[in-house]
Amino acid sequence: MPYVKRESASQPNFLASAKFVAFTHQISDAGVTADANGRKIVPAGTVYPANDATAIGITYTDTDVTEGPQPGSVLVDAWLYKERLPVTPSAEAQTALTEKSDIKFKQSL
């Protein structure tokens, strides 16, 4: 019987609507630093592929890239709360997301 270690995390919900569209993309391990446990995790809510004019979406789930690039879910059509994302999208990224996808931002209450 395999040993399974359970871990939990707490993160604010950045989705402003239950309706969204996500596609699978290869999430790169470049530039991702290891956490205290030695794991390289790209957190949910990260601008993909970078927080600049190349942005095409927002990661939907955490992706473990410790062993190298891994497939991950990327939102391309959704309403999001910008201030709840782990890193606020840059002005360039917001423009790119508007032009290249259907990501929209809603003001948090």
Secondary structure (DSSP) of the chain: --------------BSSS--EEEEEEE--TTPPP-TTS--EE-TT-EES-SSTT--EEE-S-EE-TTS-EEEEEEEEEEE-GGGSSSPPPHHHHHHHHHHSEEEE----
> Residue 90: which residues within 8 A CB-CB, separation 6 or more?
47, 51, 52
pTM of the model: 0.87
pLDDT score of 21: 98
Asked if residue 3 has pLDDT above 70, the reply is no
| pLDDT mean over 36-61 | 96
Mean pLDDT score of the chain: 92
CATH code of domain 21-105:
2.40.300
pLDDT score of 108: 76
